[in-house]
């Protein structure tokens, strides 16, 4: 194999090490991030029963229940997709990212000014704050509104660098497709079989680090149902 960026051959050992590193990221970070995003999904759904009703109606419309969840159907549910997209906006799997400039580059700010970043510049981005920036998402940036992704609300990202739950480009998360499908499947199964709620969801505090987690233990209430 040839590394096109450096114009040299890559050894089998380097390829193996790279594959193993990516696999560890998929099954470790992917696991923790997925679990936390699903927690925040239950948190938001506990606060928005109207969203739960619409999701269950869409599941019934596509013939999905506990015993029969069709993967093609999961990919063709616009409201489920909008809910997951909005969840990842408000609760991205990681809270920050960093990059180092390898070659001088000039970027344009929102107010039209040109800023040149010299080689070696360290860049840090808070995805949490980017995804809640009123200049991008409007005055309702902190609200959970899946409809903003269905064309019925005006404030969805117009630039791919304004919505980065899995980052973008060559360094984007390799397990993004896995995480999205996992979230849709788990939500479909839970909503078709159980009523889950967090009694004091509005009082849950957040702990910020590499990922965003609840600051303390959170109690759930679970009731078996059938739709």
Nearest to residue 80, comparing CAs of 57, 105, 99, 102? 57
Tens of pLDDT, residue by residue over 185-222, are: 999 988 988 888 888 888 899 888 878 889 989 988 88
> DSSP label at 225?
-
- Assigned token pair, 211: 């990922």
Beta carbons within 10 angstroms of residue 204's beta carbon: 16
CA 106 → CA 63, 97, 109, 169, 201, distances in Å? 52, 20, 10, 18, 44
pLDDT of residue 29: 56
Distance CA 201, CA 198 (A): 5
- Assigned token pair, 159: 């630039």
CA 12 → CA 5, 9, 18, distances in Å? 17, 10, 10
Choose the most confident range, by mean pLDDT, from 15-19, 84-88, 111-115, 221-225. 84-88
| 60 vs 8, higher pLDDT | 60
> DSSP label at 118?
P
- Assigned token pair, 73: 């159907």
Ordered structural domains, the chain, with CATH: 12-224 (1.10.630.10)
pLDDT of residue 5: 47
pLDDT of residue 24: 63
117: helix, strand or coil: strand
**Residue 83 · residue 51 · CB < 8 Å:** yes
pLDDT of residue 4: 45
Percent of the chain predicted with pLDDT > 90: 33
Tens of pLDDT, residue by residue over 105-158, are: 998 887 888 999 999 999 988 999 999 999 889 899 999 999 999 986 656 666
Pairing between strand 122-126 and 206-208? unpaired
pLDDT of residue 14: 74
pLDDT of residue 26: 60
What is the mean predicted confidence (pLDDT) over 74-102? 91
What is the mean predicted confidence (pLDDT) over 86-103? 90
Supply φ then ψ for residue 116, to 5 degrees: -95, 125
Tens of pLDDT, residue by residue over 156-186, are: 666 667 888 887 777 777 667 778 888 899 9
Distance CA 102, CA 60 (A): 51
Distance CA 86, CA 47 (A): 14
Rounded CA Rg of the chain:
20
Q: Which residues contact 203 (CB under 8 A, 6 or more apart)?
A: none
Choose the most confident range, by mean pLDDT, from 66-75, 87-96, 167-176. 87-96
| 116 vs 7, higher pLDDT | 116
88: helix, strand or coil: helix
């Amino acid at each position: 194999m040839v590394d096109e960026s450096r114009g040299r051959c890559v050894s089998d050992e380097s390829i193996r090490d790279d594959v193993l590193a990516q696999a560890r990221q998929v099954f470790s970070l992917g696991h923790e991030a997925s679990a936390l995003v699903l927690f925040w999904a239950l948190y938001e759904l506990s606060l928005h029963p109207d969203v739960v009703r619409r999701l269950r109606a869409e599941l019934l419309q596509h013939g999905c229940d506990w015993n029969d969840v069709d993967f093609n159907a999961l990919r063709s549910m616009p409201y489920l997709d909008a809910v997951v997209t909005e969840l990842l906006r408000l609760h991205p799997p990681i809270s920050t990212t960093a990059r180092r400039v390898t070659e001088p580059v000039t970027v344009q700010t929102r107010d039209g000014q040109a800023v040149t970043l010299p080689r070696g510049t360290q860049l840090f981005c808070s995805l949490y704050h980017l995804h809640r920036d009123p200049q991008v998402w409007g005055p309702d940036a902190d609200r959970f509104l899946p409809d903003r992704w269905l064309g019925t609300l005006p404030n969805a990202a117009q630039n791919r660098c304004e919505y980065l739950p899995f980052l973008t480009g060559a360094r984007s998360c390799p397990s993004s497709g896995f995480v999205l499908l996992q979230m849709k499947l788990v939500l479909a199964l839970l909503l078709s079989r159980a009523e889950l709620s967090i009694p004091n969801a509005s009082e849950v505090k957040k702990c910020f680090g590499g990922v965003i987690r609840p600051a303390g233990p959170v109690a759930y209430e679970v009731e078996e149902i059938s739709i």
